[in-house]
Structure 1
Amino acid sequence: MKFSEMKYQRPDLDALKRSVSRLIDEFEAATTADAALDAIQEVNRLRMDFQTMFELAFIRNSVDTRDEFYKAEKAFFDEASPEVEALETRLRQALIASPHRPALEERLGRQWFRLAEVQTRSFGDAVVQDMQRVNARVTDYNQLVASARISFAGETYNLSQMATFTQSTDRDTRRNAAQAMFGFFAEHGDEFDRIYDDLVRMRTAMAQKLGYDNFVQMGYDRMNRTDYGPKEIAQFREAIRRHIVPLVAELHEKQRERLGLDALRIYDTALQFRDGNPCPKGDPAWILDNGRRMYAELSSETDAFFRYMVDNELMDLLSRDGKRVGGYCTFIPNFKAPFIFANFNGTLGDVTVLTHEAGHAFQAYQSRDMKLPEYFFPTSEAAEIDSMSMEFFTWPWMPLFFQEDADKFFYTHLADSVASIAYMAAVDEFQHVVYEHPALTPAERKAKWRELERIYLGRSDGFYEGFPYLEEGGFWQRQLHIYNYPFYYIDYALAQVCALQYFIWMQENREAAWSSYLRLCSLGGSRSFLELVNEAGLRSPFEASTLEELMPKVQDALRELEARLPS
């Protein structure tokens, strides 16, 4: 069914609660595993009905945040979702305590029960109203960012559309574009601070109501992390500082030399080459046509997948006024349909967002027949392996999009993949500091962010010259994950380390690497992160020697690509 034909109807929350409660009673009273399984399957059918309507409302609100009908429906789900989670928590408690658990684990997999354990710890009736308030403030942040109307060069743009100007070969244009963009954040800085103050305070209060010391471990539990914790992540960040941060500093120095500048400033970072960054050589329709060819030639599986996405209107790619910023992939359960949301803006990101989000969507398409809604996607750090690796598996088709600038794309993509890991680590450590010290003032938070920028990103004094809002430490406020999805961002770094392993592997044995990737996608969320990594034949990012042995190979690849760049 085409997305435009998918009918939306607000769920009857009271009827849902009565039905699910009755079925949980039946599950708890079941005398056989078969009877228990029947009750579970009916509960999951009702859960997927609710989730389907949630996704339709969420997507349509994202596509146009000004649409009053779906704005109201989004507000309904902000209120209703915590009540449904309360029901699901009762279900999880029943699962954990069930005498039929061994038989159910054999049929449904252990991962569902492990997820139930961490999800039960991180939710309780006492925090339902807190969660509703958190959801409302997250919506406030997203609507504030989406409301940006940037006046520039006689026209008006949203934040996504301004990215083109930040990559201009004219330095004055870059500087003025950055001033205009960050001027919006500076103008609304107090409001961004108030929203984040509220979120930190409310999340901390929720954690303490549930018996946590602070929100850190609750955040990990809500991210469904079952086989690692803050200690392992701290060790991972330390490995990033040792093995990646020095390489990032080298990449920045080479960028400065290519641009012929005395020093890099904030408005220079988006430009890699003096004669311009690689950009797709056609409009969005042309990009989509090349995408069809790319996925048709990549494999029979990706061919069927991409035809399905195009034929059923399951992508919204163009940037428009009122559209939410960023990109994402989600899944509409009752239609077994992934959906890709993006904001094309004329940069190379139009291609990488298509390959990245298509990686998520392809995985969901491959595991769309999973028995449990929790298995449609893996946990987020594993899900990002699917997306980031797809970016590399599609490299052979990048000349279709970038033509004579293909080598510039290859270098930029790989360099950005490495540099982004350092930024992700900075975002993660920032969030740990904030939630370990929730009483920090906005100024103290910004000072800590500025300190972490110096450590991980080399953004020393002078980098933000002429941008007092950024020099004071305001850059993080544009990172929606910090507001929307606390502790998510390090997942990208964990996944990027795995994707870089695929990058090296596919150069040595592409067929074996692709076979591993297909296997990984087909497993969906039926395994934990480290189990999926192991099943795929990859090395854990937490192993002390993983980055130490991987990064020299990546550095060699960067130097080979650099040698191919036009002089």
Structure 2
Amino acid sequence: MKFNQYEYQRPDMEQVEVNYTNSIAAVQSATSSEEAIEAVKQVQSLQKSLDTQNQLVGIRHSIDTRDTFYEEESAFWDENSPLIEKWQNEYYQAILTSDYLEAITEYVSKPFIQMAENSMKVFDPKIIPLLQTENKLSTEYSKLLASAAIEYKGETYNLSGLAAFQQSIDRDERKAVTQLSSNFFSDNLDELDRIYDELVKTRNQIALELGFKDFVEVGYLRMNRLDYNREDVEVYRQEVLKHVVPLSEEIFKRQAKRIGIEDLKYYDLNLEYVDGNAKPIGTPEEIVQSGVKMYHELSPETGEFIDFMVEKELLDLVTKPGKQGGGYCTYIPDYKSPYIFSNFNGTSGDVDVLTHEAGHAFQVYQSRWIETPEVIWPTFESCEIHSMSMEFIAWPWMELFFGDQTDKYKYSHLASGVTFLPYGVLVDHFQHEVYEKPNMTPEERRQTWRKLEKMYNPWKDYDGDTYFENGGFWMKQGHIFASPFYYIDYTLAQVCAFQFWKRTQIDQDETAWEDYLNICRLGGTQSFLQIVETANLKSPFEEGSLTAVIETIREYLNGISDEALQTK
């Protein structure tokens, strides 16, 4: 069965409530551990069915946001998801108060129990209207960005399609298309301000209703940070400022010299070479076929995985009108199918989809043995270890995609991983400021962003662009709107991925692949720091872990001459 044959049917919510109620009662009335676990399995079956329908709507709506049927179904799920969350929490409460908690824990895993406890802390039926408002506002943001139809040289582009021109070797073109993108956000500033202001106030009200001091505490619990806290993150931020920002500045100074520009502006940052950035070879279909070859040669497990994805048409990769921007990987439980969504635009990012998003998909494919839906994926920062590490594990096959531009791609890939870290930490720091001071005006929020941006990204010169100079860049970052505090996770995972890079590409450590495969199979049955330990990596919070790997990267990058980076 192919993806277009996967059947969507809107659930009968009255029947769903009956099924939840009966299964929860069965957990509560169980007279043996066997009975309790059987009742848990009934709920899990219901969860998978509901999530399957929800995922099908989400995927199909993102493929074409103009499809009125899936637009209506998306609104249905926005409205009803908080009700499902209410029943979920009643289920968690039944487990946590069960006489057979120990046996259930062995079946569902300890992280599930921790996440159930967190879920109980951040939900109360009285906040359902607020959760519905939060969902609605988040959807408004996505739809607003997807509505972008920007005219350039006689063609119409969405934001993702336009981004390809930001790597043009023509500086005037880079400036022009970046200005077009800026204009879209500037023209919609009032609406973006309104949406985010209402989101912040709604989330702050959620926190207060639940008895928390601020939404930061709720955000951490929602993100299921099971074994580190905001104090750990503050220490980590300082390490990034101390060790990574200086290397990033070195990288950008070298880039400016390489492209012959003394005054590097924001629209120059995406161009790393005067002869153009590395671009993948071939059509989207040929790029996918190179991906199939790569995964067959990497391991039997990845070969089986990529065949499954291609044969069942579980990839939608090419940008088109009405398609939501960005990229993601998700999972359709009843069909045991990962799904990859992206917007190919002719840049190296197209290959990153086949490594990064496929890293996510490969992990969940390996974790399909896990019956507990909450832990088929690990927590977010652990998820990103799989995706970012796969990007580096795939390095030996990059010639399939880039030919004689492979060295150029590798340099850019590694260097951009470094320069991303300060930005990722900036996104997180900004959100701490926003939710610790929820009564800031939209203008004050933009000023806060610009102040922090100058700390973490001091190389950004906006060349008089009023929108960006006034602190509007963050509005491009969908996570800030839709998934609060989901961003530091990428940076923590990047530090772990750098360690896999060092082990696989520098040290030629033959045990690295088995360690990677092991953590893919684990899913979320371990917490972040446990997964790091299982993978034989150093924790990002460990003193020295960041310093050592950043120094190795510095040596590697400095060992490549700019002459070697010219297209041959």
What range is the shorter-chain TM-score in? Answer: over 0.9
Q: In structure 2, what is the equivalent of residue 254 of structure 1?
A: 254
Q: For the residues of structure 2 that align with 1:153 and 1:393, how far apart are their CA atoms?
A: 39
Instruction: Work out whether residues 204 and 438 of structure 1, in 8 Å CA contact, stay in contact via their aligned partners in 2.
Output: yes
Q: In structure 1, what is the equivalent of residue 32 of structure 2?
A: 32
- Structure 1 residue identity aligned to 2:178: A
- Structure 2 residue identity aligned to 1:230: R
Aligned pair partner of 1:502 in 493, 500, 503: 500
Q: For the residues of structure 2 that align with 1:402 and 1:559, how far apart are their CA atoms?
A: 22
Q: In structure 2, what is the equivalent of residue 66 of structure 1?
A: 66
How do 1:172-251 residues align onto structure 2 when only pairs under 5 Å count? 172-251=172-251
Q: Do the aligned partners of residues 445 and 47 (structure 1) sit closer, same or farther apart at CA in structure 2, a change above 3 Å counting?
A: same
Q: In structure 1, what is the equivalent of residue 490 of structure 2?
A: 492
Q: In structure 1, what is the equivalent of residue 463 of structure 2?
A: 465
- Structure 2 residue identity aligned to 1:434: V
Could you say what secondary structure the match of 2:247 adopts? helix
Q: For the residues of structure 2 that align with 1:173 and 1:498, how far apart are their CA atoms?
A: 37
Q: For the residues of structure 1 that align with 2:37 and 2:404, how far apart are their CA atoms?
A: 58
Q: How many pairs align?
A: 565
Q: For the residues of structure 1 that align with 2:109 and 2:427, how far apart are their CA atoms?
A: 34
- The alignment status of 1:542 with 2:516, answered yes or no, reads no
Q: In structure 2, what is the equivalent of residue 337 of structure 1?
A: 337
Q: In structure 2, what is the equivalent of residue 522 of structure 1?
A: 521
Q: For the residues of structure 2 that align with 1:107 and 1:509, how far apart are their CA atoms?
A: 37
Instruction: Work out whether residues 249 and 459 of structure 2, in 8 Å CA contact, stay in contact via their aligned partners in 1.
Output: no
- Structure 2 residue identity aligned to 1:511: E
- The alignment status of 1:482 with 2:480, answered yes or no, reads yes
Q: For the residues of structure 1 that align with 2:116 and 2:318, how far apart are their CA atoms?
A: 38
Say what the alpha-carbon RMSD is for the aligned residues. 1.0
Q: For the residues of structure 1 that align with 2:216 and 2:36, how far apart are their CA atoms?
A: 35
After TM superposition, the score normalised by the length of structure 1 is: 0.98
- Structure 1 residue identity aligned to 2:296: A
In the TM superposition, what whole-angstrom CA distance separates every residue of 1:96-147 from its partner, at most 9, and x where no partner exists? 1212111222233211101111111111101111111110110000000000
In the TM superposition, what whole-angstrom CA distance separates every residue of 1:231-275 from its partner, at most 9, and x where no partner exists? 111111111111101000111111111111121111101100011
- Structure 1 residue identity aligned to 2:540: P
Q: For the residues of structure 2 that align with 1:128 and 1:333, how far apart are their CA atoms?
A: 26
- Structure 1 residue identity aligned to 2:15: A
Unaligned segments of structure 1, at least 5 residues: none
Q: In structure 1, what is the equivalent of residue 437 of structure 2?
A: 437
How do 1:235-314 residues align onto structure 2 when only pairs under 5 Å count? 235-314=235-314
CA shift at 1:511, angstroms?
A: 2.4
Instruction: Work out whether residues 26 and 39 of structure 2, in 8 Å CA contact, stay in contact via their aligned partners in 1.
Output: yes
CA shift at 1:343, angstroms?
A: 0.3
Instruction: Work out whether residues 275 and 566 of structure 2, in 8 Å CA contact, stay in contact via their aligned partners in 1.
Output: no
Q: For the residues of structure 2 that align with 1:26 and 1:106, how far apart are their CA atoms?
A: 19
In the TM superposition, what whole-angstrom CA distance separates every residue of 1:396-452 from its partner, at most 9, and x where no partner exists? 111111111110000000000111011000000000000000001111111111111
In the TM superposition, what whole-angstrom CA distance separates every residue of 1:147-198 from its partner, at most 9, and x where no partner exists? 0011112221111111111000000000001111111000001110000000
Q: In structure 2, what is the equivalent of residue 377 of structure 1?
A: 377
Unaligned segments of structure 2, at least 5 residues: none
Q: For the residues of structure 2 that align with 1:214 and 1:198, how far apart are their CA atoms?
A: 16
Instruction: Work out whether residues 402 and 409 of structure 1, in 8 Å CA contact, stay in contact via their aligned partners in 2.
Output: yes
Instruction: Work out whether residues 295 and 303 of structure 1, in 8 Å CA contact, stay in contact via their aligned partners in 2.
Output: yes
Q: For the residues of structure 2 that align with 1:115 and 1:345, how far apart are their CA atoms?
A: 38
- Structure 2 residue identity aligned to 1:475: F
Q: For the residues of structure 2 that align with 1:537 and 1:355, how far apart are their CA atoms?
A: 22
- Structure 2 residue identity aligned to 1:387: S
- Structure 2 residue identity aligned to 1:245: V
* 503-512 vs 303-312, greater mean Cα deviation: 503-512
In the TM superposition, what whole-angstrom CA distance separates every residue of 1:498-545 from its partner, at most 9, and x where no partner exists? 000000011313421101000010000111111111111111101121
- Structure 1 residue identity aligned to 2:488: I
Q: In structure 2, what is the equivalent of residue 163 of structure 1?
A: 163
Instruction: Work out whether residues 118 and 226 of structure 1, in 8 Å CA contact, stay in contact via their aligned partners in 2.
Output: no
Q: For the residues of structure 1 that align with 2:560 and 2:352, how far apart are their CA atoms?
A: 18
* 4+ aligned runs moved over 4 Å, structure 1: none
Q: For the residues of structure 1 that align with 2:106 and 2:178, how far apart are their CA atoms?
A: 55
Could you say what secondary structure the match of 1:120 adopts? helix
After TM superposition, the score normalised by the length of structure 2 is: 0.98
Q: For the residues of structure 2 that align with 1:562 and 1:555, how far apart are their CA atoms?
A: 13
CA shift at 1:566, angstroms?
A: 3.1
Could you say what secondary structure the match of 1:244 adopts? helix
* 543-552 vs 61-70, greater mean Cα deviation: 543-552
Q: For the residues of structure 1 that align with 2:103 and 2:262, how far apart are their CA atoms?
A: 67
In the TM superposition, what whole-angstrom CA distance separates every residue of 1:328-357 from its partner, at most 9, and x where no partner exists? 000000000000000000000000122100
Instruction: Work out whether residues 96 and 113 of structure 1, in 8 Å CA contact, stay in contact via their aligned partners in 2.
Output: yes
Could you say what secondary structure the match of 1:92 adopts? helix
Instruction: Work out whether residues 446 and 474 of structure 1, in 8 Å CA contact, stay in contact via their aligned partners in 2.
Output: yes
- Structure 2 residue identity aligned to 1:33: S
Instruction: Work out whether residues 410 and 561 of structure 1, in 8 Å CA contact, stay in contact via their aligned partners in 2.
Output: no
- Structure 1 residue identity aligned to 2:487: Y
- Structure 2 residue identity aligned to 1:329: C
